[in-house]
């Protein structure tokens, strides 16, 4: 399952279109986790770029 799949699933939970068990609380939690994961991925890329720059400067 991809992040997009999780987001789509979570959105159906929130919008009450999921069948048969509607759980908007779970959907909201999943979207919050996906958002946090995206922030962490961006932070990792930022750190990788800084590390690259430091490696070049040290050479």
Rounded CA gap, 37 and 10, in Å?
15
The confidence score (pLDDT) of residue 50 equals 95
Rounded to two decimals, what is the model's pTM?
Answer: 0.62
pLDDT tens per residue, the chain (59 residues)? 677 887 888 888 788 776 667 678 878 888 888 899 999 999 999 999 999 999 999 87
Q: Which structural domain range is residue 42 located in?
A: 3-58
Number of Cβ atoms within 10 Å of the Cβ of 6: 16
User: Domain tally for the chain?
Assistant: 1
């Amino acid at each position: 399952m991809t992040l997009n799949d999780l987001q789509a699933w979570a959105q159906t939970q929130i919008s009450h279109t999921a069948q048969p068990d509607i759980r908007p609380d779970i959907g909201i939690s999943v979207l919050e986790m996906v958002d946090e994961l995206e922030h962490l991925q961006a932070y990792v890329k930022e750190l990788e770029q800084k590390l690259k720059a430091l490696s070049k400067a040290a050479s």
